[in-house]
Each structure stands twice: as C-alpha cells, then as structure tokens.
Chains A and B, each alone.
Chain A
Amino acid sequence: MISNTKCECGHQNHIGTVLCEACGKPLIELPDDGQMPAEMRYDGVARRSQKANPSWIDRIWNFFSSVKVAVWLIILTLIGASLGTIYPQEDTFINLDDPAAYYKQNYGNFGVIYHALGLSRTYQSWWFIGLLVMIGTSLVICSLDRVLPLYRALAKQQVRKHLQFLTRQQVVYAGAVPGDQNTWLDGFAKQLKKKRYRIWRDGDALLAEKNRFSRWGPYINHIGLIIFLLAVLGRGIPAWHMDQYISIDDGQTVPIPGTNFFVKNEKFTVEYYTDAELPPTLKGSVRPKMFNTKATLYQCTAACDDPTRDPVLERVKTHDIQVNHPLAYKGLKLYQYDFSEQLRLISVSPVIVNKKTGEQFGPFKLPMRNPALTYQVGPYTLELKDKFMDFGLDEQGRPMTKSRDPNAPAFVFLIKGPDLSAGGEPYIYFPKQNDKVKFGQDVLNRAVADKLDIRVNAMKDVSFSEYTTFLNVRVDKAMPFIWTGAAIFMIGVVIGFYWQHRRIWLRFDGGTLTLGAHTNKNNFGLRNEVAAALNRTGIDVPAKSLDNRRKTH
C-alpha cells in the first residue's frame, strides 16, 4: 500500500510521519471521534530508518533502531547477568586449580551443570559480551535515528499549527477572550515571558516554548552509556587490564610479572586491637586493626631481560600500602590484600670463634637468598659448597631442601684456616638456633666443632622477616573512561529529568481562542502554568479543566 504522505497544507512528509512536519495535522486518521490526544513522540516526525524500500543494510539498521528490540536486549542481558550471580564466578578466586571439581564439590549436580554451561564465567562469555555489543549498537542507532529528525523538527517549527493539532494536545483551552484580541495576546505573551518562555508570533498565532534542551538529556545519557560500554569492552585489551597477586617477605624484592617493575617489601607491620578496644563478645580474640606494607616500587632500566646479569633497578616511589591506600604509579596500583605471619631469616652476621684461643673474627654478613660463594673472615676462608633453604633428609637419608623458602636454611662451607687441614674441612652451619639443635650441627661437624664455632653474638646481628605480605597488583586503564561515561550519563539524566520541554500554541479562528500545550513530562506543572497565565489575562479557568485526557463529557 502506498500511502499519501502529502499534507493538506502542501508539505511533503517522509514515510512514517505521524503529524505533518509543517502544520502538525495528524496524517493518520484516527477511527473514532478524534478526541484522543495526538501521538507527540519525536514531534510526530518519521524516524530516519523508516523507508519505503529497505536494503539489507537498512534491515539491520531497522532491527537495531527498534526500541522494542532494545528492551528485549536489555531484558536478556539482565537475565544473563543474574544467572552469573547464582554461584561465585571463577575469576573471584585467586587460585582455583580445578574449577570443575570445585563446583561439583560445593554445589553438587547443579554446580556441574553450572560449570558445564560456562555460567561460572558468565561475564566473559561470548554471548554476554555479544549482548553488550548489541545493546551498544542499539543505543547508537536508536539515538541517531531519533535525535537528528527531532533536532530538525524542533529547529524549524511552524508557529501556526493546524487546528486539529491544537485540540488533540493534552492541555487544551478553547473560548473567547476578554477585550481586544491583540491586546490580550500581548498581555498573555508577557505573562509567558515572565515564566521564561520564548515567544514567536505569526499574525494572530503564537508559539511559546521553554527548556527545549531537556529533550537532549536522553541522548547525552546514551553517549555516556556508550562510552561506559566501550570502556568495559576495552578491558579485554591485554594492556588495559591486569589483576594478579604477589607475596613478598620483608626485605624481599620481586618482579611484577608482565611489567618491568619490581616491588620491595621494606617492612610489614600489623597492629591488633587491644582487649579494651574490643566489644565484650570479641574480647580475647585476635583482631587486626591496621596492616601496613612499606613498599618501594622500582623500575628496571637495564638488563631486564638478560638472565645472565642482575637487572638494574631505579627507585620510583616508596609508599605505605594500607587497605584502601594503594601504591599508585602510572595506572599501576598495588593494594594490600592479605598477610601471613612467617618468621624467616633474611640475613645473619655471625662471627667465627677459634675455640682454642677464644679469638673472634668477623662478623660477616650471610644472606639467606643468593649468598656469595666465598668469604674471607680473619684468617679463615669460607667456601660455600652447598646450601639448603629448608633443610631435611630424603628417603635415602641424603640431605635435601624441603621447600624453596628459607624456613630452615643450612650452609655447607669448606673452611680453611688455623688448625684446619690444608685442603680445608667441611662445616655445616644452621643460622637458626633451633635447627642447630634439631639437626645436631655439632655432631654433623664432628672434630671441626671442637676447633671453631660460627655464631651470632646478639640479636642485632640477625635480620629477619616476620611477615609475608600479599599484594594485589592491578592495572585498569578503562577506569577513567568508565568514570567519564558515568558522569556524562548522570548529566544526561539530570537534564532529562529535572527540566521539562514545554510548548504552548494558540490561534484565533473567528475571534475564538484555541490553545494547545504540550510537555514530555509533568503535565500538571504545565496546566498550572497555562492556567496562571490565562487567569492573569482575565480568563478565569481552573487548571484541572485544561486536562484534555479527562474530558469525557
């Protein structure tokens, strides 16, 4: 069916136009008495996509241009997002070795199904991201399709509208005016101006309008949403997003994987609540009040990728990392995540005692990690022959290390010096006193134990790590865009919600005034404004009676 889109005023409208773009006459004849208020959405203009013969590209465009489709997309996304909240998501665990087993163990058969359907990774799934992409597309196309025609329609409004256009508005008044028609019109315009309306006149027709900018609110809001969505998708770019955990002993420096930064835990401190500070029910329990990692961030400047040399580090920043106070540098953020109490030696500075003469030599500094291979202490030469981080014996009774951490360090030296054989004599040294007793250092060293002793004289010669701190390393380059998007979104919401676009049209036909007024929200306010202006110009009419929708008699 080819419908005639030419209006009686002579204006040629686009297909899909509801109200004539020029005079506002309804183009679609309503079946009943014509009392129904007019369809004023987008000022009755056709959406861009409404075309006579759509091509395939138009068809895709039209699909996304539909608000109905947009609503369905949003509903589907909401349902999808809610599915992801039934059980914890995989990415909320730090070390989930076997997710399938975890879901089975904790949630039974439903857990198995949940994991098998990929719902344990809902927000990273192709269909969820696909829905987000489609919502984004819909946002762009819906907005463009409506905002441009609406802009054009509002930019070139005709002052004199068709009578039917006025009587079909939601706020309508018809009747005679007191006194001279033109004097009354001047007075009425003045009243509206006081209310900050802009006035256009065309002979005895008048158009008053205010707060047109409120119409742009939803579109500004959509721009914000699009930025927000793009930023969320941007997290998929590898360099934009990082979330990992590292553990560092006091005094230890570790690289941050995937960056050329290193971080050193200078000192971790924890403060606990005293019993006096705790409520009665918690008295006697250990409650941390504050934990703090004094951390230094280093940047590698040379030999970063050369395993034959130590990397050259340059200090960047030192910061006290506390909960909610991360160390931040160029988008890299280190958050305090956890800690564990673990007494580990960092280094000792022992002396060598010649048991015969009682002479002391040293001290010499012996670090637990990466010690030097030879030490010259007084007349003694110590050659490091073997080293164990966590001393123990294997099944065959051979010495081995039980872990990679310095929990029970042991050093095997070949010592040369006074009273020792020329080729040197082996000596095993346990820096920790309890290991020395536990593993029988003196028994292992046999005769040498009678000739010399390696010992630490005072606590000041021992440096140890009390705690291991756990830091969460994050990079989220999308955040500034998310905030920008959210701010623009909010601005759009405020513009759209707190102001209303109000328009009043009026015309005289044979001395009778017809007034129609339209707003996109708060009809009540508009009726009051119109009624007040009418009252002040001598037409006594209650605001309620202007409501066209309630005129049933």
Chain B
Amino acid sequence: MRRNKTLQFVILAAVLVIGGYAVFQSLFQTTAVMKAGNKPPEFRLLGLDGTAHDLSEYKGKPLILNFWGTWCPPCRAEMPALQSVYDRWKDKGVQLVGINLSEEKLTVQNFAREVGASFPILLDRNRQTEKKYGLKQYPTTFFIGADGKIQDIMIGGPLSENDIESRIAKLMNAKS
C-alpha cells in the first residue's frame, strides 16, 4: 500500500507539471504583435556608424524606436519632426533610434543626409527585426520606458512634434 501511495503521488505530480505547463503555454502564448506592457524583442543590428548595436545597450533610459523606410512617404515626412525632438531631448536622457526597414546602406545614408537626420539609425536585414516586432504598417514607433517595457505604440504616421512630445512627457513621468 505504501508503494501505491508513492505511485499515486508521482502520477498526479507529473500531471500537474505537464498539464500545468501546457495550460500555462496556452494562456500566455505570445503573438508576434506587440502590445503596451510587453518587453520589446532583442535585436543586434548594424548602425550607419558601422558598428553593431544591441537593444540592451539602450537600457535604463527612455527609448523611442522608429521603424521607417525611404519608400514610405509618411516615414519620410516625419523625419524632420523626429530630428527636432531628438535635438531637444538628447541631452535630457531620451534616446531616439531609427530602424530602417531592410534597405541598402547607401540608400539610407543618402536619405538621412538629405533630410538632415543625425539621430542613430540601425539597418534591419531581411526584414527579421521588423517581423520580430510584428509590424503591420509603416512607420511604427515604439515608446519604451526606462524600465524596458513598451509604453506606447504609434502605428502609422507622419507623427507631429506634438505627438512625440506628449509621449515623451509620459515616458519622463513614469521615470520619476
């Protein structure tokens, strides 16, 4: 009878572990589409500066991630607004990073120079990062808090300076 008890216990424990894992998986299945509160997926991309950049190096400070392409008219249109917000906030601890949607470096460089965008720009390759972030429309801008969680997602554009400023205010509020 002692052995029966152990067997019972082992089987019920196995059920709890396996079943619990399966049900847990189904409850917290992460879809590719990002939502506020999610942690942004990691990436490692080449910057226009010629070096590799990880998402982790932007940790600890509010970060604005803007996905854009030179072939997308609203992306092109919001570049000046992003640049002027960047100029205003870069010394106050807000980071702005543009991720280009898998175009060639030459094309991206020329466009950035043309519109006077000097904020850091990283180059996605083969649409991999864009897929990880589950982009559906361009541009898409993620506002990530100092805690490393997505606070706001702006899908589509062009964003005005006001749009960006109001979200930065939220990011800064959350920080203090």
Contact = CB atoms under 8 A, between A and B. Distances in A.
Contacts of A395: 73
Contacts of B51: 308
A402 B71 contact: yes
Contacts of A236: 21-22, 25-26
By CB atoms of chain B within 10 A, which of A233, A254, A370 has the most? A233
Nearest 5 pairs of A and B residues by beta carbon:
A133-B19, A307-B46, A236-B25, A233-B22, A401-B71
A91 to B, nearest CB: 10
Given A307-B46, A390-B71, 11 more contacts: A58-B8, A132-B22, A140-B11, A140-B15, A306-B52, A308-B52, A385-B110, A394-B73, A401-B71, A401-B103, A404-B102
A60 B12 contact: yes
Interface string A112-134: 00000000000011101110111
Contacts of A133: 15, 18-19, 22-23
B52 A136 contact: no
A144 interface: yes
Interface in B7-42: 7-9, 11-12, 15, 18-19, 21-23, 25-27, 29
Interface in A488-538: none
Contacts, number: 99
Contacts of B101: 404
A401 B52 contact: no
A403 interface: yes
A307 B44 contact: yes
B23 A48 contact: no
B77 to A, nearest CB: 9
Contacts of B22: 129, 132-133, 233, 236
A387 B104 contact: yes
Contacts of A254: 126
Interface in A361-410: 369-370, 373, 384-390, 394-395, 398, 400-404
A503 to B, nearest CB: 28
Contacts of A400: 70-71, 76
Contacts of A48: 4
Interface in A44-86: 48, 57-58, 60-61
Contacts of A230: 18
Contacts of B23: 126, 129-130, 133
B45 A61 contact: no
Interface residues of B, number: 43
Interface in B66-119: 69-71, 73, 76, 101-104, 106-107, 110, 114
Interface string B109-134: 01000100000000101101001100
A315 B73 CA distance: 40
A144 B11 contact: yes
B136 interface: yes
Interface of B: 4-5, 7-9, 11-12, 15, 18-19, 21-23, 25-27, 29, 44-46, 50-52, 69-71, 73, 76, 101-104, 106-107, 110, 114, 123, 125-126, 128, 131-132, 136
A380 B75 CA distance: 37
Nearest to B123: A307
- Chain A's interface size range is 35 or more
A136 B12 contact: no
19 contacts: A57-B5, A61-B8, A126-B23, A126-B26, A129-B22, A133-B23, A230-B18, A233-B22, A236-B25, A255-B128, A257-B132, A307-B46, A308-B50, A369-B104, A373-B106, A387-B106, A400-B71, A404-B71, A404-B101
Contacts of B131: 257
B52 A307 contact: yes
Contacts of B114: 398
Given A124-B26, A140-B11, A370 B21 contact: no
A57 B123 contact: no
Quick one: which of A48, A132, A137, A305 has the most chain B CB within 10 A?
A: A137
Nearest to A262: B126
Contacts of A308: 46, 50-52
A141 B26 contact: no
A33 interface: no
A294 B101 CA distance: 28
Nearest to B137: A97
Contact of A130 (B18, B19, B69, B70): B19
Given A126-B27, A133-B18, A236-B25, A305 B71 contact: no
Nearest to B125: A307
A136 B15 contact: yes
Contacts of B8: 57-58, 61
A57 B10 CA distance: 11
Interface in A233-248: 233, 236
B49 to A, nearest CB: 11
B19 A137 contact: yes
A124 B26 CA distance: 6
B88 to A, nearest CB: 25
Contacts of B102: 404
A386 B11 contact: no
B45 A307 contact: yes
Interface string A269-312: 00000000000000000000000000000000000011110000
